[in-house]
Structure 1
Amino acid sequence: MSPQEFRQFGHRTVDWIADYWERLESLPVAPEVAPGQVRGLLPRHPPEHGEPFEALLHDLDGIVVPGLLHWQHPRFLGYFPANTSGPAVLADLLSAGLGVQGMTWSTSPACTELEQHVLDWLVEILGLPDRFRSDGSGGGVIQDTASSALLVALVSALHRAGKGMVRREGTGGRRFGLYVTGETHSSAVKAAIIAGLGEQSVRQVRTDPATLALDVSHLRTLVMRDVADGVTPLLAVATVGTTSTTAVDPVAAIGEVCRRHGIWLHVDAAYAGVAAVCPELRWLNEGVAEHADSYCTNPHKWLLTTFDCDAFWVADRAWLTEAMTILPEYLRNAATESGLVTDYRNWQVPLGRRFRALKLWAVIRWYGVEGLRRHIRQGIGLAAELAEWIRADERFELAAPHPLSLVCFRLRTPPDADPDTANLRLLERVNASGTTFLTHSRIHDRVVLRIAVGGTFTQRHHVEQAWQCLAQEASRILRSTPA
């Protein structure tokens, strides 16, 4: 493709994206396809000769779009949002066009230094501790997801606990304990498996029945039990905004236990952390400055930055880089040898890395801090209004606190009816309607429905339309449910 052809079809592609955004509201949120249906529309063999780009755009409309769950749809309210936005998409295009491989400072100095600077901006924007800044003992890096951030934190914790021996010799039969709750993201268990510690290392800490936050007294009990059994308490995960309900673990109290026993404290604020852009929500950071060894949040969830973009910080980067650094001869260079630069390949699992900082830089510059605050506040305000509609409707009940933009609720059913079955039927009917998309979870082993507000294009009337659909389907189900 020549530069001239690229210009021609680049314009066509940007127009296609803009048209897609404009027509999103008219599309069904969820696809009506059976497994294998999309593949059945694709040629069995690849083309022998090149095809015009128009053919790809044609098949995008005819094959791909009808088979998508439209995450940017204004009535996509099921999972936490995966925000995208104009400036982020354009910056991602610039990143692809530049084709930078930013594994070391020397392979693209601007790639590394812009990332450091933007993450320092984010420390300021979110009110995070200065020790996370790149000019202190710690620093930040953009990972792909919070799952990778947790894995890197675990490797760093192992390095610190083993005083460097685990890197050279492995665990050597030593047993370690990881402390999570039933509300902690599943990536914690996966990280334990990948790191070779196994599921047996994971300790399940109880949660408070009312708040669903980690029970610190039970954490103390589990840690003391491990110490008595010769198990090394290694890492605790405190979640700020759990996936099921947005519960907020008591970071400060957890941190006190971690400090007493030398436990690495990782704060997973993947969803909720970016909300601290609003000064009135800085309570989400309580305990982070004093206790967190590592912390992550996802601008790609709720801060208008196209996936993937997880912001991950450590308080002391030495444990991270000592654990992760491998320097083959072909990567040796004068800048690295000088010790004056950051090589981000030592801050992540893969060697290569894209220029992700461009899209975060573009988003912050386009919206400004006040624009980002406005987006967060709108989502929280719409969720609060939705919660009032649910509270006022005797057919429903709220199932959990809703401090941010997620509302958990359930349909009330007659005493002889199975509430779980009724709520899952309601979910199925709403999603099949094509007008909205919700998800479910379980609280105290009871099915609850989740509405997560915060999409880039979601406005009040979209939430109202989703609520109307939900109410209509609930009436139908209750009429068909035996009293």
Structure 2
Amino acid sequence: MSPEEFRKFGKQVVDWIADYHAGIESHPVRSQVGPGEVRQRLPEHPPEEGESFEQVLADLDRVLMPGVTHWQHPSFFAYFPANATGPAILGDLLSSGLGVQGMVWATSPACTELETVVVDWLAELLGLPAHFRTDAAGGGVIQDSASSAVLVACLAALERAGGGQVARRGITARHVLYASAHTHSSLERAARMVGVGADNVRIVDVDPSTLAMDPAHLDALIRADLAAGAVPTMVCATIGTTSTTAIDPVRAIGEVCREHGVWLHVDAAYAGVAAVCPELRWINDGVAEFADSYCTNPHKWLLTNFDCSVLWLADRAPMIDALSILPEYLRNPATASGEVIDYRDWQVPLGRRFRALKLWSVLRWYGAAGLREHIRGTVGLAREFASWVREDPRFALLEPHPFGLVCFRPEFPGVPVEQANERTMRLMESLNDSGEVYLTHTKVDGRVLLRFAVGSPRTERRHVEAAWRRVRDAVDAAS
């Protein structure tokens, strides 16, 4: 493809994306195709000869679009938001156009140094401690997801717990990780991948009223493991769990970790960006004093398209000790000088894209004021939705709900719990099958709850009102 051909088709692609976003409400929120339908519409074999890009775009509309679930739809209330905004998309396009492979500073200094700037900017915007800055003992790095972040944190924690010998000698003791039943499953996956094993992940009790981790039970588990000769290695506390956005008491958990010399990783993948608003910065309590690592995802709620997850460390040395290998073909004067950051030592893969461009674009386009406006707007809509649920005797509301997620369920008086759960699930599927709204569910104390997550910059009050009307209508129909 020549530069002129690229210019021609690139304009068509940008126009296509702009038209898609402008008309997104015309699509059903959730894809309406069944398993295998998209594949059946695609050729069985690759083309022998090249095809025109017009044909590619035509098949995008004809074949692929029916199988797309529209995450940017204003009536998408499932999972958590995964915002894709104009400045972020353009930043990603610039990254793709430059084609940088930023594994070490020398392979593209701008790739590394812009990343150090934007993660420091973001730390400042969120009120995170100064030692998380890249010009301090710690530093930040953009990962692809919170799953990679917790894996890197786990490797660093193992290296520290093993006296700096695990990377060379492997695991020679029984290491133990700690999480609650509401901690993201990526913690257990990390335990499997690093060789700790799922059986060595301890599940800490939660407060039944808040679903937050119980520090006293954590302390008891750690003491029991120490007495059994195990090595307590890492605790994962969550600010805003995936299931219900419960908040673990980071300060109290941190005190337990400090007493026993255990690494504290704080997973704030969804909710951490809320701290861009000063009135929500209370969620950071204990982070500055106790967190060894901290992660939040701009690609969820901060208007930056996937993938963009930021991991900060209070001390980057254990991570680098765990991950750094310098083969001859990567040696260069800048690395040898010790004056630069080589982000290859801060992540699992060697290669890395120029992800900082999209976060940089977002921070510059919206500014702190624009980011705060977005967070406050979606939190406000979620609070209003919760007030409607609270006032309707046909529903039960899970409290608290400090962010953009509201968990609730329809009441079925006199119906056994399992039957009520089945009816709730059928109700949710009927809503989702309509194509007019998309919700997901969770389960707390054996009861199915509907999750209503507000987070799209396209979602207006009218969309929330319409969704609530559809939910009530569905309950009336099911009664």
TM range (shorter): over 0.9
Paired position in structure 1 for 2:194: 195
Paired position in structure 2 for 1:4: 4
Q: Confirm or deny that 1:91 pairs with 2:91.
A: yes
Q: Confirm or deny that 1:312 pairs with 2:323.
A: no
Superposition pairs for residues 434-449 of structure 1, below 5 Å? 434-449=435-450
Superposition pairs for residues 450-465 of structure 1, below 5 Å? 450-465=451-466
CA contact (8 A) 2:105 2:111 kept: yes
CA contact (8 A) 1:115 1:141 kept: yes
Superposition pairs for residues 377-456 of structure 1, below 5 Å? 377-416=376-415, 418-456=419-457
Counterpart secondary structure, 2:329: helix
Q: For residue 278 of structure 2, what is the amino acid of its counterpart? A: P
Q: For residue 195 of structure 2, what is the amino acid of its counterpart? A: G
Provide the TM-score with structure 1 as the length reference: 0.98
Inter-partner Cα distance in structure 2 for 1:8 and 1:124:
41
Q: For residue 8 of structure 1, what is the amino acid of its counterpart? A: K
Q: Confirm or deny that 1:82 pairs with 2:111.
A: no
Inter-partner Cα distance in structure 1 for 2:329 and 2:38:
43
CA contact (8 A) 1:441 1:448 kept: yes
Paired position in structure 1 for 2:278: 279
Q: Confirm or deny that 1:291 pairs with 2:290.
A: yes
Counterpart secondary structure, 1:106: helix
Q: Confirm or deny that 1:42 pairs with 2:42.
A: yes
Task: Indicate the larger mover: 399-408 or 110-119.
Answer: 399-408
Inter-partner Cα distance in structure 2 for 1:403 and 1:348:
32
Inter-partner Cα distance in structure 2 for 1:274 and 1:205:
26
User: Residues 288-339 of structure 1: CA distance to partner in whole angstroms, max 9, x if unpaired?
Assistant: 0000000000000000001000010000011111111000000000000000
Q: Confirm or deny that 1:131 pairs with 2:131.
A: yes
Paired position in structure 2 for 1:67: 67
Paired position in structure 1 for 2:181: 182
CA contact (8 A) 2:167 2:321 kept: no
Inter-partner Cα distance in structure 2 for 1:361 and 1:370:
15
Inter-partner Cα distance in structure 2 for 1:351 and 1:332:
14
* Pairwise CA distance, 1:14: 0.3
Paired position in structure 1 for 2:19: 19
Percent of aligned positions that are identical: 61
Paired position in structure 2 for 1:332: 331
Counterpart secondary structure, 1:140: strand
CA contact (8 A) 2:166 2:322 kept: no
Q: For residue 238 of structure 1, what is the amino acid of its counterpart? A: A
Counterpart secondary structure, 1:256: helix
Aligned residues: 477
Counterpart secondary structure, 2:105: coil
Paired position in structure 2 for 1:222: 221
User: Residues 70-102 of structure 1: CA distance to partner in whole angstroms, max 9, x if unpaired?
Assistant: 101100001100011000000100000000000
Q: Which ranges of 4 or more aligned residues in structure 1 deviate by more than 2 Å? A: none
CA contact (8 A) 1:396 1:409 kept: yes
Inter-partner Cα distance in structure 2 for 1:107 and 1:377:
40
* Pairwise CA distance, 1:166: 1.1
Counterpart secondary structure, 1:267: strand
Inter-partner Cα distance in structure 2 for 1:397 and 1:159:
46
Paired position in structure 2 for 1:474: 475
CA contact (8 A) 1:270 1:297 kept: yes
Inter-partner Cα distance in structure 2 for 1:289 and 1:221:
25
* Pairwise CA distance, 1:399: 2.3
Inter-partner Cα distance in structure 1 for 2:38 and 2:293:
42
CA contact (8 A) 1:252 1:287 kept: yes
Paired position in structure 2 for 1:302: 301
User: Residues 349-383 of structure 1: CA distance to partner in whole angstroms, max 9, x if unpaired?
Assistant: 00000000000000000000000000000110000
Q: For residue 457 of structure 2, what is the amino acid of its counterpart? A: T
CA contact (8 A) 2:379 2:404 kept: yes
Paired position in structure 2 for 1:143: 143
CA contact (8 A) 2:274 2:280 kept: yes
CA contact (8 A) 1:266 1:292 kept: yes
* Pairwise CA distance, 1:416: 3.1
Q: Confirm or deny that 1:32 pairs with 2:54.
A: no
Paired position in structure 2 for 1:113: 113
Inter-partner Cα distance in structure 1 for 2:277 and 2:169:
46
* Pairwise CA distance, 1:168: 1.3
Q: Confirm or deny that 1:157 pairs with 2:157.
A: yes
* Pairwise CA distance, 1:400: 3.4
User: Residues 119-143 of structure 1: CA distance to partner in whole angstroms, max 9, x if unpaired?
Assistant: 1101110000000001110000000
Counterpart secondary structure, 1:387: helix
Q: For residue 449 of structure 1, what is the amino acid of its counterpart? A: L
* Pairwise CA distance, 1:421: 1.1
